[in-house]
Amino acid sequence: MENRIKLGVSACLLGENVRYDGDHKLDCFIRDTLGEYVDFVPVCPEVECGMPVPREAMQLESNPESPRLVTIRSRKDMSKQMLDWTAARVRELESEGLCGYIFKSSSPSCGIKGVKVHNEKGMPVKKGLGLFARAFMKHFPLLPTEDENRLHDPRVRENFIESIFAIKLRNHV
């Protein structure tokens, strides 16, 4: 329906088997409860940028302000592949009429706060943002964004839902 709110969402949260291990991270509140009232635009940055399922696990490394995305075992730098795709994908999402986005927490591509970034000695600091999430939030600074874990807090959930409705109303005035 054209009057329904559209939300971007990490595809794994809807039960799609797109994670590095071939699994998903289904969140029933998002899919079943919120899904009754919104239409989702699922995105999996890793799969959409051309990585297979399953795939080698990855982590963020170096500077938390501009980290590199590196495979853990083979040490392949996937940053360029991800960032090139990300730049195009955020522009494509402009035409979707999104009112918000729900990201997968802690993900090196989709985490929106406290993502581990490993320094040159391999020690993690929880100061990063996923590469896709960072670009999305920079491109759409006024859209409400949250991760699935924070939506389990009733106050955060209520604020997010009010915000996406406000964006929907603003876009149709």
Give the domain CATH number at 141.
3.40.50
Q: Exposed, middle or buried by CB within 10 Å (0-12, 13-18, 19+), for 157?
A: middle
Alpha helices in 24-130 (DSSP H): 28, 45-48, 79-93
DSSP state for residue 122 in the 8-state scheme: S
Q: Which residue(s) pair with 162 in the sheet?
A: none
Q: Within its chain, how far is the Cα of 143 from the centroid?
A: 13
Q: What are 5's two structure tokens?
A: 């709110």
Q: Quick check: is 68 in a domain?
A: no
Query: Rounded to two decimals, what is the model's pTM?
Result: 0.95
Q: How many domains does the structure of the chain reveal?
A: 1
Q: Quick check: is 62 in a domain?
A: no
Q: Quick check: is 69 in a domain?
A: no
Residue pLDDT, tens place only, 126-163: 999 999 999 999 999 999 999 999 999 999 999 999 99
pLDDT at 1 over 70: no
Q: Quick check: is 92 in a domain?
A: yes
Q: Quick check: is 113 in a domain?
A: no
Q: Judge whether 18 and 12 are in contact, CB under 8 Å.
A: yes
Q: Quick check: is 93 in a domain?
A: yes
Residue pLDDT, tens place only, 79-135: 999 999 999 999 999 999 999 999 999 999 999 999 999 998 889 999 999 999 999
Residue pLDDT, tens place only, 16-28: 999 999 999 999 9
Q: What are 31's two structure tokens?
A: 């899919």
Residue 17 has a pLDDT of 98
- Which domain range does residue 37 map to? 5-55+79-107+129-171
Q: What are 11's two structure tokens?
A: 């595809």
Q: Quick check: is 145 in a domain?
A: yes
Q: Quick check: is 159 in a domain?
A: yes
